């Protein structure tokens, strides 16, 4: 088992060193994708709560952008598909509640 301290590994085997490099690259990419999804989520929530002026069409466009990003992340196993479905469902419930009122 190797210990990772952001670039410093104790791996002695070449394949383990390569695996550590790959894991680090994937970790950085995945955290970037997750961050952008959280940003999309906040954009929709801000539009719903009125912190940003947004009409129903704009809210729908923001929500569709969020759905697209999270579906893409789920397809690449960055998020588990059930986690993605839960996040979409919770946000859709809030969007539909605002539409109805």
Which residue, among 96, 70, 91, 92, has the nearest Cα to 81 in the 3D structure? 70
What predicted TM-score, i.e. pTM, was given to this entire model? 0.82
For residues 49 and 53, give the distance between their C-alpha atoms in angstroms, rounded to a whole number.
Answer: 9
- CA geometry: angle 72, 65, 50, nearest 5 deg: 140
- Judging by beta carbons within 10 Å of its beta carbon (0-12, 13-18, 19+), is residue 44 exposed, middle or buried? buried
Domain boundaries, the chain: 36-100
What are 29's two structure tokens? Answer: 């990419």
Using 70 as the pLDDT threshold, list the residues of the chain that sit under it. Answer: 1-9, 53, 100-101
pLDDT of residue 5: 62
Q: Tell me the per-residue pLDDT of 39-57, one tens digit each, with 9 for 90 and over.
A: 999 999 999 988 776 788 8
């Amino acid at each position: 088992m190797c210990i990772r301290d952001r670039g410093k590994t104790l791996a002695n085997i070449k394949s383990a060193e390569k695996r550590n490099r790959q894991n680090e690259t994937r970790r950085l990419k995945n955290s970037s994708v997750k961050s952008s999804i959280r940003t999309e989520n906040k954009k929709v929530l801000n539009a719903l709560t009125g912190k940003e002026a947004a009409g129903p069409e704009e809210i729908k466009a923001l929500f569709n952008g969020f759905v697209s990003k999270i579906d893409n992340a789920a397809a690449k196993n960055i998020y588990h598909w059930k986690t993605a479905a839960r996040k979409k469902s919770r946000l859709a419930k809030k969007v539909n509640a605002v539409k109805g009122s």
